[in-house]
Structure 1
Amino acid sequence: MTNPLLADWATPFEIAPFARIRDEDFAPAFDKALELAQAEVRAIGDCSASPTFANTIEALEASGKALDKVLSVFFSLAGADSNPKRQELQRSFSPRLAAHASEIYGNKALYARIEALWEARDTLDLTDEQRRVLMLTHRGFRRAGAALTGNQDKRMRQIMSRLAELGTAFTQNLLADEAAWYMALSEDDLEGLPDFLVNAARSAGAEKGLKNPIVTLSRSLIVPFLQFSPRRDLREKAFTAWAARGANEGATDNRAIAQETLALRQERAALLGYGSFADFKLETEMAKTPAAVQKLLMDVWGPAKAQADRDAEVLTTMMREDGINGDLAPWDWRYYAEKRRQAEHDLDEAELKPYLQLDRMIEAAFSCANRLFGLEFKALDVPLYHADCRAWEVTREGRHIAVFIGDYFARGSKRSGAWCSAMRGQAKFPKVQGPVVINVCNFAKGDPALLSYDDARTLFHEFGHALHQMLSDVTYESISGTSVARDFVELPSQLFEHWLEVPEVLGEFATHAETGAPMPRDMLDKVLGAATFDMGFQTVEYVASALVDLAFHEGEAPHDVMAKQQEILKNIGMPSAIAMRHATPQFAHVFSGDGYSSGYYSYMWSEVMDADAFAAFEEAGGPFDPERAKALEKNILSTGGSRDAEALYIAFRGRLPGVEALLKGRGLTA
């Protein structure tokens, strides 16, 4: 039988034929596609004709398409619906893919052709986009070590292969820890918990075949449990397990993996002539240097820590009133912050949640995309990789734009967090193809599924990434959609979060799950008024993680990652009652791959821009101003990586922003 992963996909919009794909298909398809990709690259390097943009750069752009098809399906399943077989395959594929990348970048004949084109670039009559692709290709080869020779070249290949293995192991260890732990709750333990949390805990228990409700390490379960459980002993037990992910000794311990990863990254940077891995990594970002990142983070750290310290005093007083004389602990903060929020803003999340139905929030995101960019969404009835998934065709004025897939619910087979990826990116070369974009979240199931306000913000955030993919309008896939600088990629996602806070959006789509009534105006006012509540805590836990990430990569790799983490936190005066958002053994952004290594700061760098960008709408005709929406699509959402990120932002706004809008938006100004 023909392997469905290698056949032409005669499906609507060439969506992967998930109903026909079995785990047994992946290994033979991968072998065949990898062999084909390797042959294609060798043929480009061995071409006897003089190098041209077409026979070298465009030939590279057109290569590896069969491999892309196989991997787009496999890695979507490996992240969102894993199983032991897929984990085994991932461990097998990762080093072979690293070796394949090393073979491409180590192809001296190919690099010589690219170098010749780069040297002759001013004579080639290239379009601006072609010139950009040439620059990025040349830079990518140089940074991958294409100019290395002899033992240095061999060592770089070894490093990249080992890093791929380590990243896969880190991810799988974290997934294993998250899937293995749960805390069974008796009926007495449910006392004081809101109905939505009780229902979610019962659903989680049923999913594991248990009679008892349970708390798992899914963020959508454990965070509300820490917010609402009056049982300090259970909060401590749950928080301790959450904080210990990846650091539980034994086979799933990630600490040695993190340590080896940092050492190999530093060695990689040194081979390429950089003083540190941070210097290497930031060269291609908007920030450019570790000093610029450090300045941003410390400019925010001071006001954030001051606010967190003031908040800690209030929460400690509340704890004393409950007869607890110990220090405020990390498992106390969310509980007392929630009580404070209810007291000061009269906002009860248990009362709020019925107004934030998942389906209605999806409708809200679609409505905003329609008003801003004219996009329309029609449900598709197609087989997908899990029964929880759903799909829509995205059109504009009757023209197909993209396919959007949503996979929203937490399950044991899905890694934690939320993300957006393109199972197929937008391109016009070598053929015109519309994107297939997927948002993956970890919301608690329910009937209906109800979201916290933070969940709703996450939905809008990931949909902002999806818009960046869907509205892409470039020629080459390598620069389409979110293929931009890491500290620019979060701008569209964080910017789109602002539309959740537009009163008319919540006014229309925040309707009660049972009565259908719109959210009362006083509740709406409280939601928006509490937008900056507890922002000292949220900013401190994030900035601490970003500072640890940066420090890890600024110099010689630490001999003990946990001791180094503690040293960094001590030096910045980390409040004892707040934990890092991602401690080292579970810092998947940084150690599952090097995408966000030295780059976790990028969320805040982008927030500086998103606060300023939304202000541009407010200064114009309001949040749905058509001219600002056109400018956003033209200069940012449609352009991918076809121009330098700084130039794109200036084209949209006319200038670069300062940190003031961010501090004001977070309520951290004096």
Structure 2
Amino acid sequence: MSVVTQPLDAAPKGSVINFDLSPSEVLSLAEEAIRKNRAVLDAVALVENPTFASVIAPLGTAEGELEIGYNTARFLVSVAVDKDVRDAGSKAEKLFKDFDVEAGMREDVYKVVRAVFTNEEEMARLDDEDRRLVEKMELDYRRAGLLLPPEQRENLRAVKERISELEIAFNKCANEEDGEALFAREELDGMPDSYFDGRATRDVDGVAKYVVTTKYPDSKPLAEYAARESTRKTMFVVSSTRCPDNIPRLQELVQLRLEEAQLLGYASHAEYVMEVLMAKTPQAALDMENDLRAKLAPLGERELAELQALKRADAEAAGEPYAGFFAWDRPYYMRVAKEQKHSVKGEEVRQYFPLAAATRGMLDIYQEMLGLRIVQVDSPPVWHADVDMYEVWEADADVFVGHFYLDLHPRDGKYNHAAVWPIRAGYERPDGTREFPVAAMAANFPRPTASAPALLTHDDVVTLMHELGHVFHNLCAHTKRSRFHGTRVERDFVEAPSQMLENWAWEPAALRRFAVHHETGEPIPDDMVARLVAAKNEGAGLLNLRQVSLGLYDLAIHATTTGDVDVRRELEEISVQVAMIDYGDTETFGAAAFGHMGGGYSARYYGYLWSQVFSADMFATRFRAEGISSPKVGRDYRREILRPGGSRDAMDSLVRFLGRKPTNAAFLESIGLA
């Protein structure tokens, strides 16, 4: 079964979202969505005999409808071509966030919600998902400060509104403010010829210099291939000194998040955040990070010594003194080590991963695994010509599932990394019909050149597989309430389903399905696949220690009970101590572009490694043991992990899929520590 292309004419009416909005329409969308939601809140607050049907159900439906407007505006901030539309999206996002603060602090609404929550007879009549909805709503109001005295509640409202304002500004800067450097051709020695295809130049004193930006397709290859240390260092500094205004923003955010938490009776922002996550406490997250740090440190030290030896040998061969091993040397010598030890040459591997073929091949794997039928839409209504749109149907029935979009190439003003936006949740409308989910993925993979189609590195392939995992988590969830749809699971579990699916990028049987040479059409050679797999854990110690360091940094600035922390220096100090990074004589502030700290992942970054324990266990216990192409395992995975979304605890879903509680044995083995 392969993906086919057909016109947009079969999907249910009203399932397609309109992204073709002017700046004024974006703001009108926000204002109208807020007006409608406020009207529901006003009506519910007047209910004299609160029940699930008269209070909770309308609030749940209104929540789903409001999120469509909010998510559309938030998405346009990250992908719209017109800067005026992006700016309008930011203004709309501020309106939504301010309204969220307002709505969350409505004592009159909380009164009727709590009346349902405390009505034992009413609660006993509800099914598990609806009972969970009541419990989560009631908890949200308490966590929003509804039990505080009026004066403290007003203080809290002001703090929340300022946090919202700062988060929006932080993320806007991180998304839009790219850095650039100019290099003469000789300064880019070592770069493959394809790097220069279509690359812009600028005249500097009569010398044509190449423009290299901080976008991934520019900066990542340079970090790995530029032979001159001075070039790598220059680019590292440019990348690490973007968005200087984000440092004072983050400093203020840390203080305000702490103030918010302490107003609510928590010792720290991390304690407040983790109350509703799998970890439950900051200490549990800290213990996980420190345990992994201890296990990884000896491996990281050995790997670092190998990389230092490679640089020292290069210095000796050039007759130059060895001056040390720095942050800008790591990607370059990790690539060199991989080539020397495993004969894995990134440029050679890229020839077998044309983006179009890889995308279609991965979608084929997903639809077969999950029992879906994917249809690419011909001439779709999208926000940019690069964007592809897809319909998803059940494979064995004429039943529509939802839409998704892929926006895979960089452009000015677009989100800088790779992520998925759940634009619309799937849920039951009051009339019994269904709202269909919509998700969109944005990434920054290379564009086609004059001599070749868009070609992916193997790291890009892993990223694509991962982000598509988020897409299908959003599409395959099937819950009654929007609150629980798709990736609305505990944040320290949300990465696990996607991380699990990264494994297919390392499976020879999967790679042979879509890895074909872009010129000859020949499948990727078996020996190249074997070398790729053998090199999988090359640098695993240092790479995972970097993740540990970022998690510890997040905890250091958000688990503080005093707020006495320098957000700029803390990142560098922890990176030196934990990730063994030497910044040399540079003055950088990488925290300014650490987008996760701008909102959504504060005190949650540990979740990337936390959830990898579950992803590794799911893959090893079921898919590897029973077959990566097993329809039964794929359907079990869809039913027990994807379909429930957040309608039950993630641990319950894991136990149902695994048949037992998860352990970390498979994870340690997967990174070479077992």
Change (3 A) 1:221 1:517: same
The equivalent of 2:59 in structure 1 is 60
Residues 1:655 and 1:118: Cα distance change in structure 2 (over 3 Å): same
Q: Distance in 1 between matches of 2:44 and 2:623?
A: 51
CA contact (8 A) 1:195 1:350 kept: no
Task: Give the distance between the partners of 2:636 and 2:121, measured in 1 at CA.
Answer: 30
Could you say which residue in structure 2 is the equivalent of 1:30? 30
CA deviation profile, 1:506-564 (whole Å, cap 9, x unmatched): 11210001111111111111111111111122111111000010111112213522233
Residues 200-224 of structure 1, C-alpha deviations (whole Å, 9 max, x = no match): xx34669xxx985422111232111
2:225 corresponds to = 228
Map of 1:638 onto structure 2: 643
Task: Return the structure number with greater relative CO, CA threshold 8 A, min gap 6.
Answer: 2
Deviation at 1:587, TM superposition (A): 1.6
Residue 372 of structure 1 deviates from its aligned partner by 1.2
- Indicate how the Cα distance of structure 1 residues 434 and 92 shifts in structure 2: closer, same or farther if over 3 A, else same: closer
Instruction: Name 2:216's counterpart in structure 1.
Output: 219
| Contact 1:443/1:455, CA 8 A, preserved across alignment | yes
CA deviations on 1:250-283 (whole Å, 9 max, x unpaired) are xxx2111111101111111111111111111101
- The answer to whether the 8 A contact 2:654-2:662 is kept is no
> Is the contact between residue 196 and residue 350 of structure 1 (CA under 8 Å) also seen in structure 2?
no
TM-fit CA distance, 1:570: 5.7
Distance of 2:217 and 2:142 partners within structure 1: 42
Deviation at 1:235, TM superposition (A): 0.6
2:617/2:664 contact within 8 Å kept: no
Report the counterpart of residue 474 of structure 1 in structure 2.
479
Residue 165 of structure 1 corresponds to 165
The alpha-carbon distance between structure 1 residues 65 and 577, as it changes in their structure 2 partners (threshold 3 A), is closer
Which stretch of structure 1 is more off in the superposition, 315-324 or 268-277? 315-324
Aligned to 2:604: 599
Question: Mean alpha-carbon deviation: is it higher for 380-389 or for 119-128?
Answer: 119-128
Distance 1:626 1:53 in 2: 39
What CA distance in whole angstroms lies between the structure 2 residues aligned with 1:563 and 1:460? 35
| Residue 385 (str. 1) matches residue 383 (str. 2) | yes
The 3 A distance-change label for structure 1 pair 83 and 540 is farther
Q: What residue number does 2:342 align with?
A: 345
Change (3 A) 1:176 1:379: closer
Is 1:43 paired with 2:43? Answer: yes
SS in 1 for 2:492: helix
Find the aligned partners of 2:346 and 2:188 in 1 and give their Cα distance.
Answer: 17
Amino acid aligned to 1:342: E
User: 1:156: which partner in 2?
Assistant: 156
**2:469, 2:129 → 1: CA distance?**
24
| Residues 140-166 of structure 1, C-alpha deviations (whole Å, 9 max, x = no match) | 111111222311110111011101110
Give secondary structure in 2 for the equivalent of 1:14: coil
Query: CA–CA distance in 2 between the matches of 1:118 and 1:613?
Result: 35
Give the AA of the match of 2:445.
Answer: F
Q: How far 1:68 sits from its partner (Å)?
A: 3.6
Partner of 1:520: 525
Answering whether residue 447 of structure 2 is matched by residue 439 of structure 1, we say no
Equivalent residue, structure 2, for 1:372:
369
What is the correspondence of 1:470-549 to structure 2 with a 5 Å cutoff?
470-549=475-554
Q: Hey, what does 2:17 align to over in structure 1?
A: 16
TM-superposition CA deviations, 1:605-636 (whole Å, max 9, x none): 11000100001224532112233222211111
Unaligned runs of 5+ in 1: 1-9, 248-252
Tell me which amino acid in the other structure corresponds to 1:60.
L
Q: What runs of 5+ residues in structure 2 fail to find an aligned partner?
A: 1-10, 316-320
Are 2:267 and 1:275 aligned? yes
Determine whether 1:299 maps to 2:299: no
After superposition, the Cα gap between the structure-2 partners of 1:506 and 1:65, relative to the gap in structure 1 and judged at 3 Å, is closer
1:390-444: CA deviation from partner (whole Å, max 9, x where unpaired): 0111112232111121010111221211111122111123340221111111111
Secondary structure of 1:18's counterpart equals coil
Q: Distance in 2 between matches of 1:36 and 1:117?
A: 23
- More deviation, 130-139/94-103: 94-103
State the distance in 2 between where 1:635 and 1:488 align.
14
Deviation, 1:88, is 3.4
**Structure-to-structure mapping, 1:172-187, within 5 angstroms:** 172-178=172-178, 181-187=179-185
Q: CA deviation at 1:122?
A: 4.7
* Equivalent residues in 2 for 1:131-146, closer than 5 Å: 131-146=131-146
Matched residue type, 1:73: T
- 1:314 alignment counterpart: 306
Shift of 1:101: 1.4
Moved more, 606-615 or 372-381: 372-381
* Percent of aligned positions that are identical: 29
**Cα distance in 2, alignment partners of residues 443 and 264 from structure 1:** 36
Aligned-pair RMSD on alpha carbons? 2.3
- Distance in 2 (alpha carbons) for counterparts of 1:590 and 1:112: 34
- Amino acid of the structure 1 residue aligned with 2:246: N
Distance across 2 between alignment mates of 1:433 and 1:26: 21
Q: Matches of 1:234 and 1:271 in 2, distance apart?
A: 49
Report what 1:264 is aligned to: 256
Instruction: Give per-residue Cα distances to partners, 1:323-350, cap 9 Å, x unaligned.
Output: 2511111111111111111111011101
Structure-1 residue corresponding to 2:4: none
Instruction: Give SS of 1:347's match.
Output: coil
Identify which of 569, 572, 579 aligns with 1:563: 569
Could you tell me how far apart the structure 2 residues matched to 1:442 and 1:310 are? 33
2:113 aligns with 114
**Structure 1 CA distance for aligned equivalents of residues 497 and 579 of structure 2:** 32
Distance 1:620 1:560, change over 3 A: closer
Do structure 1's residue 576 and structure 2's residue 576 form an aligned pair? no
TM score, norm. by length of structure 2: 0.91
Query: Secondary structure of 2:494's match?
Result: helix
Aligned with 1:320: secondary structure?
Answer: helix
TM-score w.r.t. the length of structure 1 is 0.91
Are 1:395 and 2:393 matched, yes or no? yes
